[in-house]
Chains A and B, each alone.
Chain A
């Protein structure tokens, strides 16, 4: 029914389009043309090509051979696919909650009018300017088990620090620490979300005798839930795509003992080290499906926990 209305509506418009309107439409498409050209050549075309490649076996110098679902069957039996997925999931399960708690706590502090608050916000944002490569190099030096400052500081309080990036048990946590160091962008995001909460809600709650915890639980968190939804989706997607810091910290190997072999690193190795272009394309399509699936799950669950003020007003 609804589609019918729009189709008839559209033909209606098309029939009545005056010369001026037609001219505006042509000009509109001309304005859009740079993006359309770029999209077709560099995004849509390549995506279809990579889907097609995922059904072939191709070593870059020979001719691609169609092998049907061969790559996908190979993936199901490839222990490194499962291993790298599990590393990525562990990384995500550590990074996202840590980043959430830390950035929310800092945002709750830095949203107050304390003296020097703008300087503090700037300081927390600094690491985000650097990108993965610099972050990884900087922290490799901090984590250095022999001369690094972290293990020295730990030794001052009587803790014998681990080998961090040299230790298969501690390398992934070290990567998590590096990446959570970039909390600044989420802090800014949460500050913006907190500033949008009307002050009268807190005033009303205080009149009703609500304490700090009650205000956090019953006003801040619900009012912030749209921001939280955005944070969750974007940070989970970003975590599944972690690459730069792991590549640099492990010299592209995902070591020690494959303990930091995240999914995209395995993809990269297949594509640009072993030149299994078909297999690598299949790997990336699995990641796309996983990301799409996770996003859909979060969105579907969001109806239960995300609160939009407009819903109440209606």
Chain B
């Protein structure tokens, strides 16, 4: 059995049972009112964004506003893909995400394995140090990091954005360590008797059993890399190096002082698409991770 910790005692699927709902009708009307209001607030900005992305400019600047585009147009999408070169930003973001995910998975799992399965002096102190780095705001070391990247000649390259994350990060190390702790130690002993060294135990036993947690790390890190803004902002200057969030801020500043709402909402909608797809595909792995992070994002 894979020792996946994500499964919960709660039922997997909500029971389709209206009886308890009807028992306390007035209270439930209030509850469903709140719920409906909340869901509208969550979804309306998305709908409003999509509607603008399919509208012609004259209809966007119309009062009273209309939700349904009339006529429908793909001009905004053409502009974003062709004139703005949005796919370049998407590619750059994917490159950054690929490297940060690889770094967190490879380096992070090695470190996590060391903390979970090896005995050495100072282990607890070092692990406490790892955890305490989660409390430090990025800005605390942002300026010297910028100087390091300048010194390395990496300014205005994507490498500057992902390089520090090739060495692993505290939160993911913590997640993977918890997972490695749950693998029975008898497996290690049996493997050692068969002549495996520690690295082989990591690679042949621990990692194959860690697939669920690796997926969780990959998903969380994809979302985090995709939406990362401050680091690309300080390192990247030329437009063809921009990641998606920087490309978006380009539209924000507008042209000749006026914001082009149609293209801006189109690019916004497009950049929301990859996270939404990842969320729909990997919802289960994600929710397990969120319950731990709580406030991430």
- Shortest C-beta distance, A83 to chain B (Å), equals 19
- Shortest C-beta distance, B235 to chain A (Å), equals 11
Instruction: Give Cα A43 to B39, complex, Å.
Output: 40
Q: How many A-B pairs with Cβ below 8 Å?
A: 289
| Interface residue B16 (Cβ < 8 Å from any Cβ of A) | yes
| B140 and A288 within 8 A (CB) | yes
| A138 and B167 within 8 A (CB) | no
Q: Which B residues lie within 8 Å of A185 (CB)? A: 290, 293-297
Instruction: Assess A235 versus B295: contact at CB under 8 Å? Given A32-B115, A137-B248.
Output: yes
Q: Which A residues lie within 8 Å of B253 (CB)? A: 251
| Interface residue B1 (Cβ < 8 Å from any Cβ of A) | no
Instruction: Give Cα A235 to B294, complex, Å.
Output: 9
| B137 and A291 within 8 A (CB) | yes
Q: Which of B166-201 contact A (CB under 8 A)?
A: 166-168, 173, 197-199
Instruction: Give Cα A138 to B38, complex, Å.
Output: 17
| B14 and A186 within 8 A (CB) | no
Instruction: Give Cα A231 to B253, complex, Å.
Output: 35
- Shortest C-beta distance, B66 to chain A (Å), equals 10
Instruction: Give Cα A129 to B119, complex, Å.
Output: 38
Residue of B nearest to A240 (CB): B137
| B230 and A244 within 8 A (CB) | yes
Q: Which B residues lie within 8 Å of A131 (CB)? A: 223, 226-229, 245, 275, 297
| Interface residue A71 (Cβ < 8 Å from any Cβ of B) | no
Instruction: Assess A271 versus B34: contact at CB under 8 Å? Given A31-B113, A149-B65.
Output: no
Q: Which of B236-277 contact A (CB under 8 A)?
A: 245, 248-249, 251-253, 259, 261, 264-265, 268, 271-272, 275-276
Instruction: Give Cα A140 to B166, complex, Å.
Output: 35
Residue of B nearest to A283 (CB): B139
Instruction: Assess A34 versus B264: contact at CB under 8 Å? Given A27-B198, A244-B229, A272-B234.
Output: no
Interface residues of A (CB under 8 A from B): 10, 13-14, 21, 24-32, 34-35, 37-39, 41-43, 45-47, 49-50, 53, 102, 105-106, 109-110, 113-118, 120-134, 136-142, 144, 146-149, 152, 181-182, 185-186, 188-189, 192, 195, 230-231, 234-235, 237-238, 241, 243-244, 247-248, 251, 264, 267, 271-272, 277, 280-281, 284-285, 287-288, 291, 295
